[in-house]
Structures are given as structure tokens and as C-alpha cells.
Amino acid sequence: MYSPGKEYFATMDFTTVNKNMWKQVFNLDDHHTSRKNVGVTYCGYSSNRKDPNQLSVVFKYDTEEQMTNHREIINSLIKENKEKWSALGDLDSIEFNHWSILCERTNDTRLDVINKTNDILWVAKHTVEDKDKWVAAMKQQQDNGTNFDVRWWALMENVNNPNEVSCVFRVPGDRISDFLLNFAETLPLMKKYGTVDLNNCHVKFGKIEWETMYNMPAYMKKQISPQSGNDEEVIRTIIHDMTTIDGDKIKGRWHMDDNYMMVRPTGNPLDMQSWDAMMGSEDVVLTDESLVAINKLEVNGDMAWACYTAHSKFSYKGIENDDIAVFTSIFAKRDGVWKLVHGQRSTGRSPEAEQPKF
């Protein structure tokens, strides 16, 4: 799906002189909190395929103001702790770039499993004669099925140099060769219809080493919880999303609070870290998910609860399961957005068995 909103994308490229120590400092709790508070929606870093010490850190934001504020925070941290940061990376090698996303497309939404991919970022900086034609040509290429190897792609414009654009593709590592062959075949068309200047194109590859989601993008919040929307209808939409799969993952993963906890039929709790690990495991493969009925639903201010029945078909370690289960979920409205904060699942029963009545 294409993202309807205009987002911003910042990159920080540099050479580390102590990669293991830099990774530890980068992942300090205080730094994660600062990024989340300033409005970073996504963060990750990748390494150059030829030199693993050459790193590229990326941040996504909803607004240009958030991007600018974060840049100032990063500069202050480096300036105030120059000796410390010099021991981690070559400060003279740092290069910042700030981008406005013109078009963004997600082909594979199964990116909720953090740090478990072998994906490659293919980045091309170049110029085009007509940006509107470039965007239209890339969308047409997508609609023709050319990008079937691509999980995610974006077309960006350099905020500080609007004449420079960037095309970024995220491709599974085992599909990169096929992607490059397919892309090479389309280059003449991109030159003709996309007005791409092939004589001024700089390409690099990055192996994604780490990533996380900090905040839900603003356009997704609007889709999930419209400001003028009816709370009960929003929650019904969430329940439908939680009982729908996209690919082989639950579509409603975004509705789950960071501190969400599910109590399993055994009574054992499942937190979000365990949820992501389970759903990202090759042992679990979802094949179908559907809502049977919303049995009870009540909204009380910024809290709500619901009881619903869902039909799931999945395999666990190759063993097929066909279950109908009852869920009880608690929702909380935070910053105007409804989120799942707690849930409990009954033991699944066969579709042929007598079903519970409410």
C-alpha cells in the first residue's frame, strides 16, 4: 500500500572506529527514549557490504520540525561529548542528509519482526528532469508487477538540495540478484518515461543490522482512530484488523500497545517481545484468520473492553491447527488513539464442536 501522508527521512553516514562499543552506546535506554520523545517513528542502521565499519543510520519522522529538532539534539550530544564520540566513530566522516518522501510503498507488511531479516537496502542518488513523471513511472512499474522482489520502496527529495533525489529499495538478501536483473531491464524505460539521468547516479548497498519502530506514523493513527470517529466503531475496526491476516501476519499488530500482554489458555503471559518472537518464528505459519462474532463491547471514557470469537487456521512446527477461540480484550485511549493493552485467549476448539453461546 502507498503511504498517503508526507513523511521525512534522515540519514547519518559515518565510519565507526569501535563498532561493538558504538552499538552499545547507540542502544542505551536514554537514547531510545529521546528518539521516541522527539517523534522518531522508525530507526535502524545498516553496514556497507564492502566495509562493515561504514554505517548508515536512518530515522523517519512525521514532520520536518521533528527532523530538525532531532538533528539539533544529535549535534549537541556530539559537541558536548566530543572526546567520547571520537572514540566510537570518525567525526570528520559524518554526513547528514535530510529527505522529504515523495512516494512510499509497502509491498510486504511482515516487517514487525525486529532484527530477524537478511534484508538489503539498495540506495540510488541521482537527478530527474521531471519529478512528477518519475513518481508516476515508478508507480506504473509497481502496478505492472515489476517490484515483486521488493518489500518496501520510497522516492525522496533532498530537503537541502531539491535537485537531488533518491530511490531506496528494501529487498530480501536472497532476492537481491533477481531484483538487480529485473531493475536493469527496466532502466531504458525509466530513462524514457521517468526522466532519470543515468549519467548522474550513485548507488550503494547496505545490510540491515538493527531496526525498531518507536511511534506509529501519523497517517496510520488517522486511519486507525479518526478524530471525528465513533469510539465503538474504531474498536470494531481494530477487532476486525486483529482477526485479519496480511501475508501470514496479523494485520492489527499496530494496534497493540508496547506493554500489551496476552494471557494464553495455559495462564502463561505473553508480552510484546515474546509475541514478535513467536510470530516471526518459522515454526508458526498463519494461513487464515477471520472474525466469527463480536459478542460483547462496551466503551467507558478512555477505557473499553470487548469479547469476540475468531477462527484461526495455522501450523505450528508443521502441525496443522483449525481453531475457534474466544478472546477478551481491554483497550485504552492514549493521545487520542485506541490501543490494545491486555487480552486473554480461550482454548481453541474444532469448528465441528459445539460453539459457546453469548
Each residue's pLDDT tens digit, 64-116: 999 999 999 999 988 888 888 899 989 999 999 999 999 988 777 554 444 55
* Close Cβ partners of 112 (under 8 Å, ≥ 6 residues apart): 213, 249, 253, 276, 279, 280
**How distant is the alpha carbon of residue 59 from its chain centre?**
12
Same domain, 28 and 176: yes
Whether 234 is in a domain gets the answer: yes
pLDDT bucket at 304, cuts 50 / 70 / 90: very high
* Dist. CA 35–CA 77, nearest whole Å: 13
Q: Radius of gyration (Cα) for the chain, nearest Å?
A: 23
Q: Which of 185, 213, 241 is the last residue of a domain?
A: 213
Q: Give the C-alpha distances (Å, rounded to integers) separating 104 from 156, 169, 170, 222.
A: 9, 10, 12, 17
Same domain, 197 and 314: no
* Close Cβ partners of 76 (under 8 Å, ≥ 6 residues apart): none
Say what the pLDDT of residue 225 is: 46
More confident residue, 337 or 299: 299
Same domain, 177 and 259: no
Rounded percentage of the chain residues whose pLDDT exceeds 90: 39
pLDDT bucket at 226, cuts 50 / 70 / 90: very low
26-73 pLDDT, tens per residue? 988 888 888 988 999 989 999 998 899 999 999 999 999 999 999 999
Does residue 322 surpass a pLDDT of 60? yes
More confident residue, 325 or 151: 325
Does residue 2 surpass a pLDDT of 80? no
* Dist. CA 296–CA 106, nearest whole Å: 34
* Dist. CA 284–CA 249, nearest whole Å: 10
Whether 203 is in a domain gets the answer: yes
Same domain, 41 and 160: yes
* Dist. CA 84–CA 17, nearest whole Å: 12
Whether 354 is in a domain gets the answer: no
Q: What are phi and psi of 114, to 5 degrees?
A: -75, 135
Among 38, 108, 132, 124, smallest CA distance to 76 is for 38
Q: Which of 213, 248, 271 is the last residue of a domain?
A: 213
Whether 218 is in a domain gets the answer: no
* Dist. CA 178–CA 100, nearest whole Å: 29
120-126 and 202-213 strand pairing: antiparallel
Number of domains in the chain: 2
Same domain, 208 and 229: no
Residue 42 gets the label, from left (phi > 0), alpha (psi -120 to 50) or beta, of beta
pLDDT bucket at 214, cuts 50 / 70 / 90: confident
Task: Please list the helix, strand and coil fractions of the chain in percent, rounded to the nearest 5, in that order.
Answer: 30, 40, 30
Residue 289's domain spans which residues? Answer: 225-345
pLDDT bucket at 288, cuts 50 / 70 / 90: confident
Whether 351 is in a domain gets the answer: no
Q: How much is the pTM? A: 0.64
Say what the pLDDT of residue 307 is: 96
Does residue 249 surpass a pLDDT of 90? no
Does residue 224 surpass a pLDDT of 70? no
119-130 pLDDT, tens per residue? 899 998 989 889
275-284 pLDDT, tens per residue? 878 877 778 8
Does residue 289 surpass a pLDDT of 90? no
249-250 and 245-246 strand pairing: antiparallel
Q: Which of 179, 213, 247 is the last residue of a domain?
A: 213
* Dist. CA 150–CA 180, nearest whole Å: 11
* Dist. CA 329–CA 262, nearest whole Å: 9
181-213 pLDDT, tens per residue? 887 787 787 777 778 887 878 888 999 998 888
Residue 210 gets the label, from left (phi > 0), alpha (psi -120 to 50) or beta, of beta
DSSP code at position 145: T
Range from 163-167, 238-242, 276-280, 302-306 carrying the lowest mean pLDDT: 276-280
Same domain, 208 and 237: no
Among 345, 184, 223, smallest CA distance to 275 is for 345
Please state, rounded to an integer, the average pLDDT across all residues of the chain. Answer: 86
- Are residues 277 and 248 in contact, defined by beta-carbon separation less than 8 angstroms? no
Same domain, 76 and 209: yes
Rounded percentage of the chain residues whose pLDDT exceeds 70: 91
More confident residue, 300 or 185: 300
Residue 301 gets the label, from left (phi > 0), alpha (psi -120 to 50) or beta, of left
Same domain, 171 and 305: no
Whether 278 is in a domain gets the answer: yes
132-145 pLDDT, tens per residue? 888 888 888 888 77
* Close Cβ partners of 336 (under 8 Å, ≥ 6 residues apart): 221, 225, 227
Same domain, 57 and 97: yes
Same domain, 139 and 279: no
pLDDT bucket at 358, cuts 50 / 70 / 90: confident
CATH number at residue 337: 3.10.450.50
Same domain, 173 and 199: yes
Say what the pLDDT of residue 227 is: 39
Whether 66 is in a domain gets the answer: yes
CATH number at residue 115: 3.30.70.100
Q: Which residue has the cell 522518531?
A: 40
Same domain, 204 and 232: no
Whether 219 is in a domain gets the answer: no
* Dist. CA 174–CA 30, nearest whole Å: 35
Say what the pLDDT of residue 223 is: 55
SS3 state at 8: strand
Joined grid coordinates for residue 92:
570528520
* Dist. CA 124–CA 53, nearest whole Å: 20
